A and B are shown apart, each in its own frame.
Chain A
């Protein structure tokens, strides 16, 4: 199966390891991975901060780049939700680019959706002998309704001890530009999330979004807790032969 990887601008720029993990995981599962080099950003930051014009431009660019692919995979619940849920409202029916949005948006899958719903694999053959907790990011949970997909994949990882995160469904306080526009409340929310993570005794906190992990991980790091944050893809890509970095 030939799939297009939508890396997302945050992963592309700051977390290339997540992209490499997705490539290695999908290849291991028999997919041919294509990376359309013209891709940039889904436009979520602009739209959600109130810059709709720039957002619409980026949305049109996205749909041009990914037109024609049967499946587009993104290692981000938030960006996948942006394309699938927000694009059809952003580029109004009848306006320029609306037909392209209608064609492309349904083909965009978040990584765990693609693994379980399209490839229909629950055991990806991963090995990760660590105590791990999972934070369901808001756009994965309430946007895409990923449900137990990530947990099903994690439970099949050999050696992995999955521990539930208290208050898992509560927002971590990232919220894109919310984190810098309302830093006090964002940090207070983050502090409670950090407390939940520490209560689990996990070595690793994972999620389907590096942006939220950047915020929680930034606090875990500042407090020198020693807890690592990792994108789910990096755990799923890890095997006995090729361990996660």
Chain B
């Protein structure tokens, strides 16, 4: 995944403990996530057939994933027949190499970009920079992140951790054509970005995008966006290169009916998406290249429990409803995919070799709010629990859990442990030492009763 996030130090508990202390961040996140959460709930609530739509979305994705080999080959045929060129990339390095090669072949040294999770996952901007090619983000929030040498912290609103005063500072500092008297009014900030970007749209000969959906039947790609920047990038440049994860394919044009309802309502809380662009192959002389990206996805597909994560349509509803994300912020997850979906996707795509990635399946209280709002019914808690069983466990914890399992597996041992605790009840300190201080730093311990329930029952039940 993204080079920018690779080798990120720390682990989720440490990263989030820092974020929790940042009151400005907590305020920004709470305000933003609760606003989008409310909008989503209201527009989802007005559809009487939401659960049926959700079931249809899940079913279409499952059917597609079951026959992914067939649909991908069909997609390659239809895109090629429409004049497009299809490239297959096994991993991030191969995808980056293909894109850099295609850009160089045009003789250009800069590209404009449509907001895309896949290109962030593979660290495309950094890879292009290493080849002397400059990539310009054109989505407003991505622009803010890029100008600020920052990391995205949300899938839908990557600069959710920034408030408008900070954005003004970034623009004045890093955007060469920012008006000197720029205020932090949202309209003024948007106008400054618009003027800045317009010049890039008109100048750039190459664009790079991702896609929300690809239709195997027709060879059509679909991008949903809100600002119109995507439409500019997709139509104006002479060459368009789209990097898309292999799980984004849908069998038929008609399947879009379901997803064009599910996605905007779940994502931005809108009934209809503002800018929906579709294109098939090389339209009107544009040179079109599709780079199909695996980068760990076929391994995820092989996992019976984990494969449901591939149904994800990147709507962010799970982030906006997650109480852990709201307090920890996106950066704590150390991946372009933060929040509940990130906690199940990142460890599957990257493995659990690093301390950070091994801590992600535990970055959840298993409250289940994410599963409830997911438009394709990904049972995120189920996948989290499954990943926890596969995660590396520390020696001390393993030993403790084994002893607990031994005690709990037998009534006599449990009763003996309870009686021992009852006898020692007055000796328990108010603050516990070592790792157990994690409980008593903020919470009192419950009093240990003199007698367990089972002993009471034995005596007088």
Q: Residues of A with Cβ closer than 8 Å to B? A: 7, 9, 11-17, 19-20, 23, 35, 37-41, 43, 45-52, 54, 57-58, 61, 86, 89, 138-139, 142-143, 169-171, 173-191, 214-215, 217-219, 221-222
**Which residues of B lie under 8 Å from residue A186 when comparing CB positions?**
365
Measured between beta carbons, the chain A residues less than 8 angstroms from B324 are 182, 185, 189
List residues of B whose CB falls within 8 A of some A CB. Answer: 12-13, 16-17, 20, 26, 323-324, 327-328, 361-369, 371-372, 382, 385, 388-391, 393, 397, 401-402, 404-405, 408-411, 414, 417-418, 421, 435-436, 438-439, 441-446, 448-449, 451-454, 456-458, 461
**A9→B368 CA distance, assembly (Å):** 23
Q: How far is the CA of A186 from the CA of B366 in the complex (A)?
A: 12
Residues on the B chain within 8 Å of A174, using CB: 365
| Contact residue among B327, B369, B390, B418 (Cβ-Cβ distance under 8 Å from A142) | B369
User: How far does the Cβ of B394 sit from chain A's closest Cβ, in whole Å?
Assistant: 11
The reply to whether B453 and A179 form a contact with Cβ atoms under 8 Å apart is: no
Cα(A217)–Cα(B446), bound, Å: 8
In the assembled complex, the Cα of A170 lies from the Cα of B325 at a distance in Å of 13
Q: Which residues of A contact B414 (CB under 8 A)?
A: 9, 12-13, 40-41
Q: What separation, in Å, do the CA atoms of A18 and B457 have in the docked complex?
A: 13
Given contacts A35-B457, A185-B16, A185-B20, contact A179 B452 (CB under 8 A): no
Given contacts A181-B362, A182-B12, contact A45 B368 (CB under 8 A): no
Apart from A13-B448, A143-B368, A222-B442, what are 7 other A-B pairs with CB-CB below 8 Å? Answer: A7-B453, A16-B449, A20-B453, A58-B409, A171-B367, A180-B438, A182-B13
Chain A residues whose CB sits within 8 angstroms of the CB of B461 once the complex forms:
23, 35
Interface residues of A: mostly helix, strand, loop or mixed? helix
Closest partner residue, chain A, to B406 (CB atom): A54
- A35 to B460 CA separation, bound complex (whole angstroms): 12
A138 nearest CB across to chain B (Å): 4
- CB contact between B442 and one of A45, A54, A58, A190 (< 8 Å): that residue: A190
Given contacts A142-B367, A175-B365, A219-B443, contact A54 B418 (CB under 8 A): no
In the complex, residue of chain A having the shortest beta-carbon distance to the beta carbon of B457: A35
- A12 contacts across to B, CB distance below 8 A: 414, 418, 452-454
* B446 contacts A214, C-beta separation under 8 Å: yes
Q: What is the minimal beta-carbon distance from B452 to any residue of chain A, in angstroms? A: 6
